[in-house]
């Protein structure tokens, strides 16, 4: 039995689908069972729980061989944060896996580091450290930014005004990976016990600026107007003011400021030398375009 915490999410849903189609037994942990309605109900056990609630994890991990963490607390709100979910919640999952003798597969981020300017990356680093020190047989999968998420956000804002919203200047190149490719690697990590002790890093073939991506989203949507920009000064102000009342908004403002200046480029080739049959989906393919 494989427990997927975050099995209702963008990545987790694809991972669950891949495991089910291999005929494996899958249990999904969710705070809200309604979120799991799109999963194959007859083939997936859905269990209510929260990674912040150790008791619920005790119930969810009964009889489990591999615990998968595809959760994050980046967008909040109220008590949901990288500290409570990505650091402490993942530590709870590791502890629960240890009790039942299960292996652990942790979804993390390329750039996870104690000194990162991004809280999420610091908390992912803490989770990695905890899992490795725990003695639980662990595989870590780090990914760059999921392009489908950013395409959705840009498309939504473009859909309303005809112009996608870009935070900051949007001219810093960033590596984007398709969640399809990440799901294929996570499936490999779950099903191949020989990967325990490994840390894999996966990115996509494209290092694009947000302005590039916004233009590509416009082309795919049959629009041609340039993106609107939320100036960096507004993001700084947001972080310093409303960010105190609504920490998730402060966190998002600080993260977008970091994404505007930190080196987030990545060479996708190495993992494909290890797993030559992993898909490598381009932004062009995700958008159904002939070129970006």
Question: Residue 73 or residue 164: which is nearer to ligand NAP going by CB?
Answer: 73
CB-nearest residue to ligand NAP: 9
Query: Can you say how many angstroms the Cα of residue 189 is from the centroid of all Cα atoms in its chain?
Result: 16
Q: Closest approach of Cβ 70 to ligand NAP, in Å? A: 4
Q: Which is nearer to ligand NAP, 6 or 17 (CB)?
A: 6
If the CB atoms of residues 84 and 223 are measured against ligand NAP, the closer one turns out to be 84
CA 229 to the chain's CA centroid = 25
Spatial separation of the C-alpha atoms in residues 132 and 124, rounded to whole Å: 12
The position carrying tokens 């191949």 is 192
Integer Cα distance of 174 and 259 in angstroms: 8
Where along the sequence are the contacts to ligand NAP (CB under 6 A)?
A: 5-6, 8-12, 29-32, 35, 50-52, 70-73, 80, 85, 89, 107, 109, 143, 145-146, 149
Q: How far is the CB of 160 from ligand NAP (least distance, A)?
A: 21
User: Which residue lies nearer to ligand NAP by CB, 10 or 272?
Assistant: 10
Structure tokens at 137: 């047989």
Residue 167 · residue 256 · CB < 8 Å: yes
Contacts of 4 (CB under 8 A, 6+ apart): 12, 15, 16, 19, 26, 27, 28, 29, 68, 70
Query: Are 31 and 50 within 8 A, CB to CB?
Result: yes
Closest approach, Cβ 240 to ligand NAP, in A, equals 25
CB of 162 to ligand NAP, least distance (A): 25
φ, ψ (nearest 5 deg) of residue 152: -60, -45
Q: Give the Cβ contact number of residue 199 at 10 Å.
A: 15
| Smallest distance, ligand NAP to C-beta of residue 75, A | 7
Closest CA to 176 of 52, 292, 58, 266: 266
State which residue, 15 or 161, has the beta carbon closest to ligand NAP. 15
231: phi > 0 → left, psi -120 to 50 → alpha, else beta; which?
Answer: beta
Q: Given the complex with ligand NAP, which of 5 and 97 has the nearer CB atom?
A: 5
Query: In the complex, what is the shortest distance from the CB of residue 89 to ligand NAP, in angstroms, rounded to a whole number?
Result: 6
Nearer to ligand NAP, 146 or 266 (CB): 146
Shortest spacing between CB 74 and ligand NAP, in angstroms: 7
The residue among 107 and 166 lying less far from ligand NAP, judged by its C-beta, is: 107
Least distance between ligand NAP and beta carbon 107 (Å): 4
d(C-alpha 101, C-alpha 19), whole Å: 20
């Amino acid at each position: 039995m494989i427990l997927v915490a975050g099995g209702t999410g963008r990545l987790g849903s694809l991972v669950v689908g891949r495991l089910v189609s291999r005929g494996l037994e899958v249990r999904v942990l969710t705070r809200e069972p309604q979120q799991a309605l799109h999963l194959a109900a007859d083939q997936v056990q859905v269990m209510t729980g929260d990674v912040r609630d150790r008791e619920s994890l005790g119930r969810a991990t009964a009889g489990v061989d591999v615990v998968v963490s595809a959760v994050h607390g980046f967008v909040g709100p109220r008590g949901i944060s990288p500290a409570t979910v990505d650091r402490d919640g993942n530590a709870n999952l590791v502890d629960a896996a240890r009790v039942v003798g299960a292996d652990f597969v942790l979804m993390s981020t390329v750039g996870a580091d104690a000194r990162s300017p991004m809280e999420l990356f610091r908390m992912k680093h803490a989770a990695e450290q905890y899992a490795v020190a725990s003695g639980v047989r662990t595989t870590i999968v780090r990914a760059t930014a999921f392009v489908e998420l950013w395409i959705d956000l840009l498309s939504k804002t473009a859909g309303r005004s005809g112009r996608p919203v870009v935070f900051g200047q949007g001219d810093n190149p960033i590596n984007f990976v398709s969640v399809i490719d990440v799901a294929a690697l996570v499936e490999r990590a779950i099903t191949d016990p020989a990967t325990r002790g490994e840390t894999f890093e996966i990115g996509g073939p494209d290092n694009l600026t947000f302005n590039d991506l916004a233009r590509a989203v416009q082309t795919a949507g049959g629009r041609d107007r340039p993106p609107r920009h939320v100036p960096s000064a507004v993001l700084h102000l947001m972080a310093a003011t409303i960010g105190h009342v609504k920490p998730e908004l402060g966190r998002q403002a600080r993260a977008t400021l970091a994404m505007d200046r930190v080196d987030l480029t990545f060479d996708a080739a190495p993992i494909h030398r290890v797993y030559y049959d992993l898909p490598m989906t381009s932004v062009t393919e995700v958008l159904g375009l002939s070129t970006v």
